[in-house]
Structure 1
Amino acid sequence: MSETAIKECIVRLAEPLAHALGLVVWGVEIARGYRTIIRLFIDVPLSCRDTCLSPAPSEASVAVSSATVSASVGMCEKISRALELALEVEDCLSNSYVLEVSTPGLSRVFFTREQMRPYLGDIVEARLHTALPAETGNAGKNAAGNSSAPRKLWLGKLINVTDTAFVIAPVVLSPAGEGISENMSPVCLPWQAVRRVNRVHIFPVPAKPGKSPKKRTTLETAICTPPVAAVGGTHES
């Protein structure tokens, strides 16, 4: 079974489980190696995230009301256990695998353009299949009028999302985690050219007395920030 077919199978099995808890399937990632890792991301609906302010129900709750603002560890566990059984019955994975169920987190991966729309103004990192130059014309030129060299990795502030692409204002991150403009015109990246795109979350760091505050990126806090709750099990073929 192809990777696309496996993802479709997992989404088909996971969606009713997530909907029963008032959640949605955000996306699926498959990491190949000595053992295949299946990562299922679940989240609250986009419409609910913007309007619901009350805390999530206890993990013991079987059903979740529309007031949920984040999936809990207990919800991830419920979906993981049910999905494990469903995958055994469906038998769409022939080799050994590890199943992980978690929320997308602050530095979430975007699986569709629609998922990006609520994050306009945030910094995103896009990895492309092949290096692409900035668009012709004024787009992609810096203040001196020089065109940017082709890149496979683009970092910038998300300023627009269209039906076939998204537009960023290129930035670089300072040592303090600040997004500094590259003084380039906006760059349009076709969705079909993107291998992976994710939000770059910047954690503010409390300032020491007498010093100005600084920020740090997600990568800089990876070793000191607890990971997003993820649960799962190992399955041998």
Structure 2
Amino acid sequence: MVDRLRELILPVVHSFGMELWGIERATSGKSKILRIYIDGSAGVTIDDCVRVSRQISSMLEVEDPLSAKYILEVSSPGLERRLFEVDQYCKYIGEMVRVNLRNSFENRRNYLGRLVRVENEEIIIVSKEEEFTFPFEMIEKGHLVYEG
């Protein structure tokens, strides 16, 4: 489903000179939410989100890839952005990341550490002076951690 959404949404986002950062499907109470994260070289304004949201909404009404009702949200990924693709991790070498794993590794599923490298579809972080290597497919969710 996400692949089909990406296929439909990508051209719309690109037409505004933006990058499709990620797609997330969530539930809040009884509401289904479709979150689209966009990014741009000069950042993302509220007006950018509104324009992209209107176009995506119109396109989804015609294509109708989602069978249930949903709330569409379009936003910037923000400072503590979620990292959806292995290539996105490559852009943030040296930054702090939080990684949640699909299954436990050494009796833990959550790791916080500095991203030191990405190679062969694996994410390598250093946490408390210990290095951990996680194959990308092991990662359920990862995001940057703002150090402000």
Q: Same fold (TM over 0.5)?
A: yes
- Output the CA distance in 2 between the equivalents of 1:87 and 1:9: 11
2:4 is aligned to 9
2:17 alignment partner in structure 1:
22
Confirm whether residue 36 of structure 1 aligns to residue 56 of structure 2: no
Counterpart in 1 of 2:115? 158
Equivalent residues in 2 for 1:192-203, closer than 5 Å: 192-203=137-148
Runs of 4+ that moved beyond 4 A: none
Contact 1:113–1:163 (8 Å) recurs in 2: no
Q: Percent identity?
A: 31
What letter is aligned with 1:200? Answer: V
CA distance in structure 2 between the aligned counterparts of 1:87 and 1:74, rounded to whole angstroms: 20
Q: 1:139-190 CA deviation, whole Å, 9 max, x = no partner?
A: xxxxxxxxxxx210011000000122110001xxxxxxxxxxx232x11011
Contact kept? 1:167, 1:187, Cα under 8 Å: yes
SS across alignment from 2:60: helix
Unaligned 5+ segments in structure 1 are 50-68, 134-149, 171-181, 204-237
Give me the TM-score of the superposition, normalised by structure 1: 0.60
Q: Tell me which of 87, 92, 97 is aligned to 1:119.
A: 92
RMSD: 1.2
- Tell me how far 1:113 sits from its aligned partner: 1.0
Structure 2 distance, partners of 1:74, 1:14, is 18
Partners of 1:23 and 1:130 in 2: CA distance: 34
The structural deviation recorded for 1:15 is 1.4
1:146 corresponds to which residue? none
In structure 2, the gaps of 5 or more residues are none
The Cα shift of 1:128 comes to 0.6
Give matches, 1:40-55, under 5 Å: 40-44=36-40, 49=41
SS in 1 for 2:52: helix
TM-score (structure 2 length as normaliser): 0.93
Q: Does 1:191 align with 2:136?
A: yes
Other structure's SS at 1:95 match: coil
